[in-house]
């Protein structure tokens, strides 16, 4: 027979376990949404990545329930990261080495939101059919490059309506001259002439909305995007100063913090800067007219070798690094270093006396091997579109939860009201006295 004391202890232990489990479940709504993924889709995703890689992705449904026992202790909050790539053209080696590889390497350290920024893609003339194709291809490449949906939310920007809404709200708080001085706008406006759209001018505000919606702590950006991040910080500070003074912020969020967090730059450790194969002084770009200027992640081995064979070089003997007069040599050596995982200094001892005819095949072979796992995984992923759709749906749900809360705070701060608030306002003595 169980005595009263022993029974009380057993009941207390059971209650504690239930409480721990409930805290764990409530601690991350986005995790719970991922856990509800259809079992069939989870099994397919597991099969795809276990076939394509010796280190398959960790699936949400396989998370260890043992952490429930420790759920009563509040875990240390991970810093949140927001980043994305435009679905225009093909994702190339520069995108991978400069951004996506960094995302994959860091995804255990941060709370990640990675989006496919299709709203940004329409700021310049585009073909609708091609946009749809590029969005689907980019989503598959996110997975193929190793982004784990159990650790990172992957979603399409336009699937979260708050991006467009917050852009308009921030437009009303952003001075026009701030946008007119943006370097990228000036450069692209020159190229497009009279056909330049308002969207191109407003592009930085949309980028600010992308970042601020998710209360991002860190944003990985390259040199050409630093000005945009600084503008984001300026917009956040201006909005908070104008609309979140005094007790207003505390009323909105239950804390003394303002609506928006000012993000910091996430500096990548020696991120490779990959240049065009046709001009060693220009970045590798999706928009460059010549396909020979870039290595796309999905290029076949034969195409990669042909592009390297035809890439621009000089008439100098030997291979050098960081000689300002030989940018193409620096570029190919950088790619070779990244593909082999070996420091440039070590490689120079082997290749410095080589001719271009000897060095180029080495670079081409290394790139083929570096990109082979990505191509193989991409082929596996795209065999089952349902898996990609499920990942994007889970990501959009998690993103909408965070973004809609931030947009709501911004609306309230600017004075927008609900039906219930209108009824409350009209029923006050002051309102009645002015009727």
Active site residues: 188, 283, 286
Give the CA count within 13 Å in the CB-facing half-sphere of 66: 1
The answer to whether residues 113 and 82 touch, using CB atoms and an 8 Å cutoff, is yes
Nearest CA to 391 among 208, 148, 169? 148
Q: How far apart are CA 366 and CA 336, in angstroms?
A: 7
Distance in Å from the first CA to the final CA of the chain: 75
Long-range (24+ apart) CB contacts under 8 A made by 400-405 are: 400/159, 400/160, 400/161, 400/162, 401/29, 401/30, 402/30, 402/113, 402/213, 402/214, 402/215, 403/160, 403/162, 403/163, 403/166, 403/213, 403/214, 404/162
DSSP for 372-431, written as a single string = HHHHHHHHHHTT-HHHHHHHHHHHHHHHHHHHHHHHHHHHHHHT---HHHHHHHHTSHHH
What backbone torsions phi and psi does residue 302 show, to the nearest 5 degrees? Answer: -65, -40
* Pairing of β 111-116 and β 152-156: parallel
Q: Tell me the Cα Rg of the chain.
A: 26
* Pairing of β 264-266 and β 152-156: unpaired
**Inter-CA distances, 82 with 106, 110, 163, 229, Å:** 12, 10, 13, 12
Query: Cα dihedral sign for 48, 56, 386, 138?
Result: negative
Q: How far apart are CA 267 and CA 261, in angstroms?
A: 18
**Inter-CA distances, 369 with 188, 194, 362, 375, Å:** 36, 45, 11, 10
Report helix, strand or coil for 154.
Answer: strand
Q: How far apart are CA 398 and CA 111, in angstroms?
A: 12
* Paired tokens of 96: 């991978």
Nearest CA to 213 among 131, 155, 266, 145? 155
* Paired tokens of 191: 């190229």
């Amino acid at each position: 027979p169980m005595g009263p004391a022993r029974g009380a202890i057993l009941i207390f232990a059971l209650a504690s376990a239930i409480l721990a489990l409930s805290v764990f479940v409530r601690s991350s709504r986005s995790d719970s949404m991922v856990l509800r993924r259809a079992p069939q889709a989870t099994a397919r995703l597991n099969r795809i990545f276990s076939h394509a890689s010796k280190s398959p992705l960790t699936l949400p449904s396989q998370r260890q329930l043992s952490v429930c026992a420790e759920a009563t202790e509040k875990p240390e909050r991970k810093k949140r990261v927001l980043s994305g790539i435009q679905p225009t053209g093909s994702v190339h080696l520069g995108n991978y080495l400069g951004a996506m590889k960094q995302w994959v390497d860091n995804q255990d350290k941060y709370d990640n939101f990675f989006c496919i920024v299709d709203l940004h893609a329409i700021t310049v003339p585009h073909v609708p059919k091609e946009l749809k194709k590029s969005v689907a291809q980019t989503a598959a490449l996110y997975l193929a490059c190793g982004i784990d949906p159990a650790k990172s939310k992957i979603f399409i920007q336009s699937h979260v309506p708050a991006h467009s809404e917050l852009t308009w709200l921030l437009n009303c708080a952003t001075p026009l001259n701030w946008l007119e001085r943006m370097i990228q706008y000036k450069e692209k406006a020159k190229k497009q002439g009279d056909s330049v759209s308002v969207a191109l001018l407003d592009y930085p505000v949309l980028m600010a909305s992308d970042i601020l919606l998710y209360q991002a702590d860190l944003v990985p950006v390259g040199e050409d995007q630093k000005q945009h991040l600084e503008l984001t910080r300026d917009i956040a500070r201006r909005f908070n100063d104008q609309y979140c003074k005094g007790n207003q912020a505390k009323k909105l969020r239950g804390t003394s913090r303002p609506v928006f967090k000012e993000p910091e730059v996430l500096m990548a450790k020696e991120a490779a800067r990959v240049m065009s194969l046709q001009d060693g002084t220009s970045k590798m770009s999706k928009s460059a007219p010549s396909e020979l200027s870039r290595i796309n992640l999905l290029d076949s081995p034969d195409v990669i070798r042909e592009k390297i064979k035809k890439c621009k070089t000089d008439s100098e003997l030997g291979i050098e690094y960081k000689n300002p007069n030989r940018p193409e040599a620096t570029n190919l050596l950088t790619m070779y270093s990244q593909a082999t995982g070996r420091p440039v200094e070590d490689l120079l001892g082997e290749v410095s006396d080589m001719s271009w005819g000897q060095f180029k095949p080495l670079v081409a072979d290394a790139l083929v091997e570096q990109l082979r796992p990505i191509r193989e995984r991409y082929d596996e992923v795209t065999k089952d579109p349902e898996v990609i759709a499920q990942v994007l749906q889970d990501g959009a749900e998690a993103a909408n939860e965070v973004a809609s809360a931030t947009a709501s705070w911004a609306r309230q701060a600017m004075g927008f009201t609900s039906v219930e608030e209108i009824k409350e306002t009209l029923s006050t003595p002051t309102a009645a006295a002015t009727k």
